[in-house]
Amino acid sequence: MSRKIRILISKPGLDGHDRGAKYIARALKDAGYEVIYMGIRQSPEAIVKTAIQEDVDFVGLSLLSGAHNELFPEVVRLLREQGANDVIVFGGGVIPQEDISYLKEQGIEAVFTPGTPIQKVIEFIETNKERVLH
Amino acid sequence: MDKKSLIEQQKEKWENTTLKKVLQKFPEQKESFSTSSWLPVERLYLPRQMSEEEYLERIGFPGEYPFTRGVQPTMYRGRFWTMRQYAGFGTAEESNQRYKYLLSQGQTGLSVAFDLPTQIGYDSDDPRSVGEVGKVGVAIDSLEDMEILFRGIPLDKVSTSMTINAPAAVLLAFYIAVAQKQGVAKEQLRGTIQNDILKEYIARGTYIFPPKPSLRLITNIFEYCSKEVPKWNTISISGYHIREAGSTAAQEVAFTLADGIEYVKAAIKVGLDVDQFAGRLSFFFNAHNDLFEEIAKFRAARRIWAKIMKEKFQAKKEKSMMLRFHTQTGGSTLTAQQPDNNIVRVTIQTLAAVLGGTQSLHTNSRDEALGLPTEDSVRIALRTQQIVAYESGVTNTVDPLAGSYFIENLTDKIEEEVLKYLNKIETMGGMVQAIENGYVQKEIQDAAYKYQQEIEKGDRVVVGVNKFTVEQEKPKEILRVNPLLRKVQSEKLMKLRKNRNNQEVDKALQALREGARDESVNLMPLILDAAKAYATLGEICNVLRDEFGEYRESIVL
């Protein structure tokens, strides 16, 4: 039996639209993952600190205010700076199509936009979990 | 002789003959039907026996208690609702242009969207503002920005709604100061500040201070405005965001009215007379797709609030019992997939708001699930209201759906559900307690979870999302905010801090600090002094942060 996958869900930036983030957190928990939900208005620094302390495998970021191009990459950058090289970062929210390729270049491995079924997120985790389960 | 029993008899006969034959050949699409918020819906509604006394007590006449049929006797025959599009982005200059455009297109009131740093009381150059400056609204750092925002817009002619909560007192002070510079007296100003902190803890998230000092700021505003800015709506008690967070229609009304009760209690507790401020309370609701449920919701909300104000708080003036409300169509019902379909959703929601008797309306733009709306999309949204107002004919009579067997039944059902919640919250010790122990958030989340699961399973159809989908969507044009805006605002701030009279600023901020320490002081005049001295929003809020502390979210999952 392998250990459970640990996922951190958080909202960087200042927007309070947490319906999506809370839904994802609860649905992933129901799907059998260990989920840590940090809540709204978290700084990239606080997210990275929690990710490292809690030894998570994935970090899911949700943002609806339009600050994703600044804040998502900052989380990846800080994670790598602090040696958390194999933590996989994904994101979601109101994110224009044309920003997705930029975010992927910056190390956000998947971006889930409104209307995405939860199954897609689970598939993403299942496909990539081998990389984090050493 | 007995009318009802005759109908009942006929109904049985109908069920056993006409209906039965059809059901055998063509079963209904589902075993049971319900509203979008899971209230059961029967196949057929029939007249219910209602005495004349009961009609007068529960439904009555428009413009009279309990206002079920509307707050004005003539409703839209007198004048249409205020068409008020929530707008603002980028700099004060850009937003000022958008407002002038909207006014030129026939919009009748302004509604200011502030960016998140402004809403949380951070200046644009604060490190926590990174990425957020000018994004979801306009960046306002000081009186200087506010002067630009309303340049060329006569504040004695327009009414302005400002979506601002935790720092509402500061933005109101900026507004008053701009008006004075235009030569417009406080007494002439018309508009609304949202100023509803409790729903920020529940759903919207732009809180700063803990509940107690936040309620003090709110009651300070009530008191100040009742004397100085008498035409101003001092609060817009909002169910909108509660619904967006996933609540049911009944929860939206219940939690909003529970918040309202808390504000009234707080104001009475500091010695205000209920009739002195209650007439300036206004409400803000959502309009989702389930047309009849929404209409019934608005009607029920009016009836319940009137009764609460009259019986619980002994209001004497009719105005204090009137639930006047703004409506916005449901952002969370819009889809990123096939976004033009959203125009149709917004049309249904517009009808719901109008048939429900709204006082003002914002219609969402089709592209809001993709990003900030373009000018074209905003125009279509406004035109939707104008078509309903001028072409549909639904405005010609007051409360046209009253007396519909279904609507009246649904209005009663929602009222029942709401009263259950209000009683429960009362037994918990009031809304602040119910929020602090996470009860309200949990109720909303459970409803949101259930809703989303139904979509995932395909039990709930969202056209274009889980049914009638298309493979390739063509990319849509979206509006971009200048990413260098934070730099522009920061430079403005640097200049401001250099050029203003800093001694005067320090003096005003020190007076505010001392005032904050003394609960008997009304902070509004002190904030106005600081605003006029060009103290920044962040500076003013930081003084209050020091004195009041900051609220931390209680996480419920």
pLDDT 10s digits, B319-374: 999 999 999 999 999 999 999 999 999 999 999 999 999 999 999 999 988 888 88
Task: Label residue B1 by pLDDT band (50, 70, 90).
Answer: very low
| Residue A41 touches chain B, beta carbons under 8 Å | yes
Cα A23 from Cα B445, distance rounded (Å) = 8
- Per-domain boundaries in chain B: 65-457
A37 - beta bridge partners? A9
Q: How many domains does chain A have?
A: 1
**Cα nearest neighbour of B207 on chain A:** A16
| Residue A122 touches chain B, beta carbons under 8 Å | no
Facing A22 at nearest CB: one of B119, B132, B557: B557
Identify whether A38 is part of a domain: yes
Average pLDDT, chain A: 95
Residue pLDDT, tens place only, B58-89: 999 999 999 999 999 999 999 999 998 888 88
Residue pLDDT, tens place only, B428-480: 999 999 999 999 999 999 999 999 999 999 999 999 999 999 987 776 777 77
Identify whether A1 is part of a domain: no
Identify whether A124 is part of a domain: yes
Average pLDDT, chain B: 95
**Assigned CATH for B65-457:** 3.20.20.240
Residue A45 structural domain? 6-131
Residue B184 near residue B155, CB atoms below 8 Å = yes
**Cα nearest neighbour of B122 on chain A:** A14
pLDDT of amino acid A97: 87
Q: Do A66 and B244 touch (CB under 8 A)?
A: no
Identify whether A10 is part of a domain: yes
pLDDT of amino acid B2: 52
Whether the pTM exceeds 0.90: the reply is yes
Residue B281 near residue B263, CB atoms below 8 Å = yes
Cα B421 from Cα B398, distance rounded (Å) = 30
Cα B357 from Cα B62, distance rounded (Å) = 10
Facing A13 at nearest CB: one of B132, B204, B246: B132
Q: Kindly report the backbone phi and psi dihedral angles of residue B239, in degrees, each rounded to the nearest multiple of 5, phi listed first.
A: -95, -10
Q: Kindly report the backbone phi and psi dihedral angles of residue B483, in degrees, each rounded to the nearest multiple of 5, phi listed first.
A: -70, -15
Facing B370 at nearest CB: one of A26, A40, A96: A96
Cα B474 from Cα B151, distance rounded (Å) = 39
Question: Residue A35 class from Cβ within 10 Å (0-12 exposed, 13-18 middle, 19+ buried)?
Answer: buried
Identify whether A75 is part of a domain: yes
pLDDT of amino acid A134: 67
Shortest distance, CA B72 to any CA of chain A (angstroms): 35
The answer to whether residue B127 scores a pLDDT higher than 70 is: yes
Q: Do B128 and A97 touch (CB under 8 A)?
A: no
Residues of B in contact with A17 (CB under 8 A): 205, 244
Residue with tokens 């009638």: B468
The answer to whether residue B19 scores a pLDDT higher than 80 is: yes
Identify whether A29 is part of a domain: yes
Residues of B in contact with A14 (CB under 8 A): 116-117, 119-120, 128-129, 132, 206
- Eight-state DSSP code of residue B127: G
